[in-house]
Structure 1
Amino acid sequence: SEEEFYDISNINSDEQINYFYDLWTLKESYIKTIGKGLYTPLNSFSIKKESRTLISYQNIPKNFYFKQYNIDPNYKLSACATRDEFPQEIIIKDIYAICQNIYKFESKEKINAED
């Protein structure tokens, strides 16, 4: 949105890309939460980070809440929900390990079914 462009343009150039990705992931989390995806124009609403934890917005109903998690300096994760109930931290799981556990469980179930 115009407001977001203004905000990005008026911060230190070293922080611009970081702030851009903050806004992008926050906006992405909102359009996923409402189930509209990119059918909702990203310039139809605005998000502003007031501080590390305070996020304000325009043209979004008041019953939406946002949270950002620090995962890695080069990776952003933002969540949006209709209730202000977010876990304090997230757990990152390795998909390979998850698939191995599923395979082991299914193999065990198959052996038990044959007994």
Structure 2
Amino acid sequence: HNGYGHVNINGFYAENFGKLYRSCGTCGNIKRTVALNHVWGYNPKVSLVTVNANNGDVATFTDDIHVHTSKGANAVCQTTSSTNGKEPKVTSKGPSKNCVFNKNKIEFY
């Protein structure tokens, strides 16, 4: 997601993937948001979502989220810190103010 604004992901299945959604970490200091509802992720290599904390990006997981993984909440959402045109570095994994979800409401397999 390179531009400004909001993305809704509703009713989506992904299998053997890196990230279902990633906010751009080298596209300037602009805020991006994403909401996920009715999403199934089977074997995410990284996470369902990656957002940039220092840009104020926020991912909100609402209802009916299923993740088949051995990584637990770390496979749901991670935050990165964008760095002057270089690839962003991971700063946290799991629930946070930028990755809004309740681990108890996500079904893990």
TM-score range, shorter chain: under 0.3
Going by fraction, where is strand more abundant, 1 or 2?
A: 2
Instruction: State which structure, 1 or 2, has the greater radius of gyration over its C-alpha atoms.
Output: 1
What TM-score comes out, normalization by structure 2 length?
Answer: 0.22
Going by fraction, where is helix more abundant, 1 or 2?
A: 1
